[in-house]
Chains A and B, each alone.
Chain A
Amino acid sequence: AQKITQTQPGMFVQEKEAVTLDCTYDTSDQSYGLFWYKQPSSGEMIFLIYQGSYDEQNATEGRYSLNFQKARKSANLVISASQLGDSAMYFCAMRGLNTGFQKLVFGTGTRLLVSP
């Protein structure tokens, strides 16, 4: 079965600093997709970034980048130059053949708090 592990329940960072949120995954699939979502206190889930298992380069979207280390099965999210508005829950997720390819499996999340 596929599994996502986020070992950091909470992280603190000062404004303008970079922060890395950890995500490791477990799968026997060769083809899979990895996602990061942000959930502010308002509750909606916002898609941040996607990495396909065959993508050789790390995905980047503005201040977000995904540090993809396939051999270590890790997909850490790096937020550069943190802003107060980055304070939120962050979820790592994946899909693959074992989840029927259509469904996402989510980790337990990391709460990020950005201080001034």
Chain B
Amino acid sequence: DVKVTQSSRYLVKRTGEKVFLECVQDMDHENMFWYRQDPGLGLRLIYFSYDVKMKEKGDIPEGYSVSREKKERFSLILESASTNQTSMYLCASSLLAAMDSFGGYTFGSGTRLTVV
């Protein structure tokens, strides 16, 4: 069964800590994404990667960085965690989409991060 795996379902971290959220996919997908989900705001894109070592900022990249050293792994890094980064974080992957192709995502099960 193909899947996207996020390393932790729940994390509690202290303000100022450096936090790593890991995501691994086994589908040989080119694209990988990090979203955060907050009530009433839906899913907002943090960062996106379309190839190894390639990254692109999403709508809310401030306070985050990413790393993609291997095709299957995409890491989200909170350099200095703050309480306003308490959220649900969702990783997704997809094939490189053409104009008329499907281009849908496969999601991981999410990481609920609490920063205290």
If the complex has contacts A31-B99, A102-B48, are A108 and B105 also in contact, measured as CB distance less than 8 A?
Answer: no
Q: Within the assembled complex, what's the spacing in Å between the Cα atoms of A40 and B110?
A: 12
Please give me the residue from chain B that is nearest to A99 by CB atom. B45
Q: Within the assembled complex, what's the spacing in Å between the Cα atoms of A104 and B45?
A: 9
Asked whether B21 is an interface residue with its Cβ less than 8 Å from the other chain, the reply is no
In the bound complex, do residue A102 and residue B42 qualify as a contact, i.e. CB atoms below 8 Å apart? Answer: no
If the complex has contacts A45-B90, A102-B94, A103-B48, are A108 and B103 also in contact, measured as CB distance less than 8 A?
Answer: no
In the bound complex, do residue B42 and residue A101 qualify as a contact, i.e. CB atoms below 8 Å apart? Answer: no
Smallest CB separation, A22 vs chain B (Å): 14
Cross-chain contact of B42 among A33, A52, A91, A103 (Cβ < 8 A) = A91
If the complex has contacts A102-B97, A103-B33, are A108 and B104 also in contact, measured as CB distance less than 8 A?
Answer: no
Smallest CB separation, A108 vs chain B (Å): 4
Cross-chain contact of A52 among B9, B33, B40, B100 (Cβ < 8 A) = B100
Asked whether A47 is an interface residue with its Cβ less than 8 Å from the other chain, the reply is yes
Q: Within the assembled complex, what's the spacing in Å between the Cα atoms of A52 and B35?
A: 23
Please report which residues of chain A, range 28-62, place their CB below 8 angstroms from some CB of chain B when the two chains form the complex.
31, 33, 35, 37, 42-45, 47, 50, 52, 54
In the bound complex, do residue B45 and residue A44 qualify as a contact, i.e. CB atoms below 8 Å apart? Answer: no
Binary interface profile of A, 90-106, with partner B (CB < 8 Å = 1, else 0)?
01010101001111111
Most A CB contacts (10 A, CB to CB) among B40, B48, B88, B99 go to B99
Secondary structure call for the A interface: loop
In the bound complex, do residue B109 and residue A42 qualify as a contact, i.e. CB atoms below 8 Å apart? Answer: yes
Q: Within the assembled complex, what's the spacing in Å between the Cα atoms of A87 and B20?
A: 32
Asked whether B61 is an interface residue with its Cβ less than 8 Å from the other chain, the reply is no
Please report which residues of chain B, range 26-77, place their CB below 8 angstroms from some CB of chain A when the two chains form the complex.
31, 33, 35, 40-45, 48, 50, 56, 58
In the bound complex, do residue A35 and residue B42 qualify as a contact, i.e. CB atoms below 8 Å apart? Answer: no
Q: Footprint of B on A, CB under 8 Å?
A: 4, 6, 9, 31, 33, 35, 37, 42-45, 47, 50, 52, 54, 91, 93, 95, 97, 100-109
Q: List 8 A-B contacts (CB under 8 A).
A: A33-B104, A43-B109, A45-B92, A50-B104, A100-B56, A104-B103, A106-B42, A108-B41
